[in-house]
Structure 1
Amino acid sequence: MTSSLQRAAFAGTYDDESLCGSGLMVVRAEAEAVAALAGRIDAYFAAACKLILACNGRVVVTGMGKSGHIGGKIAATLASTGTPAFFVHPGEASHGDFGMITAQDVVLALSNSGETPEILAILHLIKRLDVPLISMTGNPKSTLARQSQVHIDTSVREEACPLGLAPTSSTTATLAMGDALSVALLEARGFTREDFAFAHPGGSLGRRLLTRIQDIMHTGPEIPSVPETALVRDAVLEMTAKKLGMTAVVDGRYRVLGIFTDGDLRRLFEKAGDIHTTPINEVMTRFCTRVSPELLAAESVRIMEEKRISALLVVDDDNRLIGALNMHDLLRAGVV
């Protein structure tokens, strides 16, 4: 027995041309919808931004169905770009969650029709709380639009869905307007790359902008070092034990005099040198690169690439050895 789903499948066509044609139609329809928003970045848009900038609380975003999904994304984008925000489901708001909204907040309501019952049901509560209401709808004459302090028109000529039923162009337009709002607020607040990193500490940008050498360097007994009186043999044993491909050479006060690396060892072998009799201070690299523990780890990557080295010694203001790291440490930290 053939199911309704199978019958629908047989009724359609599945060749590459028809599938790509459908996809292209959607992309063009949604691109047109977004392009039309340019004319609506106007005084109402600016007024919405000013309401949010003057807000001492948070932006409470609400929406039902697909608008709710878009609202969740807009709230997340606002929060990650310097505007505290969260999403409240309008249906749940009528059953206790309205208590999450305070008089210090601003409400941003999304509804393509502007007549979503679950949102209209809490309008009187928003008014009673005297909370500024911003709305994004596809109908400037709707109840929600008329009840809002500021309304932003996100209407579209048509949905990309050939049936004209599934929210497609309308949700894309609302999402784009939400992004426009978020970025305008970001720039108005002077939100920086460092601020963004603090909001995204687990992301790659956060790691690059927040991680400092002192956060990942080897310290204490993990630091490879030998005294200036050591032989190359002692340095090789230290390098093997600490596994950083180098060792620092220090004086009696633990000040760095130089570095001995795998490359220095290879050069010694090329000259037929004896690791058991050669003093380390004769073959070490004296003018080695040293860095401060406060330096951004990302900057240490640049230094290593510029100087074509794979490890760094970390010193304090008196040139005393306090740490060491190599490229593998930066890779593990996600900085590279």
Structure 2
Amino acid sequence: MTDPARYLLSAQRTIRMEVEAVAALEARVGEEFERACELILKVPGRTVVTGMGKSGHVGGKIAATLASTGTPAFFVHPGEASHGDMGMITADDCVIALSNSGTTPEVLMLIPLLKRLGIPLISMTGAPDSALAKASDAHINTGVAVEACPLDLAPTSSTTTALVMGDALAIALLEARGFTAEDFAFSHPGGALGRKLLLKIDDVMRQGEGIPKVSEATPLSDALLEISAKGLGMTTVVAADSDRLLGVFTDGDLRRALDEQVDIKGTRIGDIMTRSPATVHTGMLAAEALRIMEERHISALVVLDEQQEIAGVVNLLALLEAGIA
């Protein structure tokens, strides 16, 4: 029977070996990496990633990361490329080819075709003297001294280093392009990430008649009716002649007023409201409004327009329902 402790020792050894392999990459990021970035940035078309086997799986992830961070990219299987998919590659593109040995036949077979098109070829291999590396316009060394596999056969450390180098390339290009959070959200519109990055306060705020609103002369008793009717746990307090915000009155303010035994019918809301409340502006991201609520430990914010008048009210429940929180 295998000693259970050996499972842990094996896992720890594997992790340690892969960490060491990744750490060694930093010293190799130099002129060839810079050249690869420049080649990708200069092409008017897309970045085509290719590779066989495990390298192909890594290449698919690299292509996906590039595409989602501002570098149009897709993966082409080298075997399929030899049987028609070369038509997906144009003279405006560049190619990133992955092969740890640099001798993968299916990948090498593409080189004459790529040279015929005259497009840049970037390779990631563990063999700088390989045929693929020598045929490339830029070669990035992702080699490892030994695989984490105890047989030194199964691609383990080498696929990890290729994956990390691909991420390094994608992020370097992202920064060079000035890619923003909003750009990222544009390519991720369907998930929670897209909602967080794209949804504006204007899309979720309560507007028009739905805004709880009283004048500063309103008796507290009437203000409570407005709070109850609008269901936001607060009301805005405005000037008598405009929608200029003077303050807010919340459930928390009510608790404090009751503790002080304030006369509900005889007290004006303007005398006990919270002045200079936290506010946000139209056009702001809903995620930013959520951050402000969390920092100030409040559940609603007044939204002001360009004229500094009330445009709406956004509360925590609305953000939760929109999938922001």
TM-score (norm 2): 0.86
Query: How big is the shift at 1:107?
Result: 0.4
RMSD over aligned Cα atoms: 2.8
1:176 aligns to 2:181 (yes or no): no
Whichever residue aligns with residue 126 of structure 1, its letter is L
- For residues 146 and 318 of structure 1, the distance between their equivalents in structure 2, rounded to whole angstroms, comes to 64
- For residues 130 and 155 of structure 1, the distance between their equivalents in structure 2, rounded to whole angstroms, comes to 27
Query: Which residue is 2:315 aligned to?
Result: 326
Instruction: Map 1:300-315 to 2 at 5 A.
Output: 300-301=289-290, 303-304=292-293, 307-315=296-304
Query: Which residue is 1:133 aligned to?
Result: 121
- For residues 309 and 32 of structure 2, the distance between their equivalents in structure 1, rounded to whole angstroms, comes to 60
1:110 aligns to 2:98 (yes or no): yes
Aligned mate of 1:214, from 188, 198, 202: 202
- For residues 144 and 253 of structure 2, the distance between their equivalents in structure 1, rounded to whole angstroms, comes to 69
Query: Which residue is 1:55 aligned to?
Result: 43
1:260 aligns to 2:232 (yes or no): no
Partner of 1:127: helix, strand, or coil? helix
Query: Which residue is 1:234 aligned to?
Result: 222
Calculate percent identity across the aligned residue pairs. Answer: 60
Aligned mate of 1:144, from 132, 137, 142: 132
1:92 aligns to 2:100 (yes or no): no
- For residues 255 and 27 of structure 2, the distance between their equivalents in structure 1, rounded to whole angstroms, comes to 68
Query: How big is the shift at 1:109?
Result: 0.7
Whichever residue aligns with residue 154 of structure 1, its letter is T
Partner of 1:314: helix, strand, or coil? strand
Partner of 2:62: helix, strand, or coil? helix
- For residues 226 and 205 of structure 2, the distance between their equivalents in structure 1, rounded to whole angstroms, comes to 17
Q: Structure 1 residues 262, 178: closer, same or farther in 2, change over 3 A?
A: same
Whichever residue aligns with residue 139 of structure 2, its letter is H
- How many pairs were matched up? 324
Query: Which residue is 1:120 aligned to?
Result: 108
Query: How big is the shift at 1:128?
Result: 1.8
Query: Could you list the per-position Cα deviations for residues 182-235 of structure 1 after superposition, in whole angstroms to 9, with x for gaps in the alignment?
Result: 233233334445544544456776655544322321112321123445433332
Query: Which residue is 2:148 aligned to?
Result: 160
- For residues 280 and 24 of structure 2, the distance between their equivalents in structure 1, rounded to whole angstroms, comes to 53
Partner of 1:247: helix, strand, or coil? strand
1:249 aligns to 2:243 (yes or no): no
Whichever residue aligns with residue 261 of structure 2, its letter is A
Partner of 1:44: helix, strand, or coil? helix
- For residues 141 and 296 of structure 2, the distance between their equivalents in structure 1, rounded to whole angstroms, comes to 55
Query: How big is the shift at 1:22?
Result: 1.3
Query: Which residue is 2:269 aligned to?
Result: 280
Query: Which residue is 2:57 aligned to?
Result: 69
Contiguous gaps of at least 5 residues in structure 1:
1-12
Query: Could you list the per-position Cα deviations for residues 270-328 of structure 1 after superposition, in whole angstroms to 9, with x for gaps in the alignment?
Result: 34344345443443334434332133444434544555543221222334321002233
- For residues 220 and 141 of structure 1, the distance between their equivalents in structure 2, rounded to whole angstroms, comes to 70
- For residues 308 and 30 of structure 2, the distance between their equivalents in structure 1, rounded to whole angstroms, comes to 58
Whichever residue aligns with residue 283 of structure 1, its letter is I
Q: Structure 1 residues 88, 256: closer, same or farther in 2, change over 3 A?
A: same
Query: How big is the shift at 1:67?
Result: 0.6
Q: Structure 1 residues 142, 304: closer, same or farther in 2, change over 3 A?
A: closer
Query: Which residue is 2:28 aligned to?
Result: 40
- For residues 187 and 273 of structure 1, the distance between their equivalents in structure 2, rounded to whole angstroms, comes to 58
- For residues 318 and 42 of structure 1, the distance between their equivalents in structure 2, rounded to whole angstroms, comes to 52
- For residues 84 and 261 of structure 1, the distance between their equivalents in structure 2, rounded to whole angstroms, comes to 49
Query: Could you list the per-position Cα deviations for residues 88-129 of structure 1 after superposition, in whole angstroms to 9, with x for gaps in the alignment?
Result: 122222333222211111000111222323223333322221
Query: How big is the shift at 1:171?
Result: 0.8
Query: How big is the shift at 1:55?
Result: 1.4
Partner of 1:136: helix, strand, or coil? strand
Partner of 2:283: helix, strand, or coil? coil
Query: How big is the shift at 1:15?
Result: 2.2
Partner of 2:274: helix, strand, or coil? coil
Q: Structure 1 residues 14, 224: closer, same or farther in 2, change over 3 A?
A: farther
Query: How big is the shift at 1:83?
Result: 1.9
Deviates more, 1:272-281 or 1:311-320: 272-281
Q: Structure 1 residues 172, 285: closer, same or farther in 2, change over 3 A?
A: closer
TM-score (norm 1): 0.84
Contiguous gaps of at least 5 residues in structure 2:
none
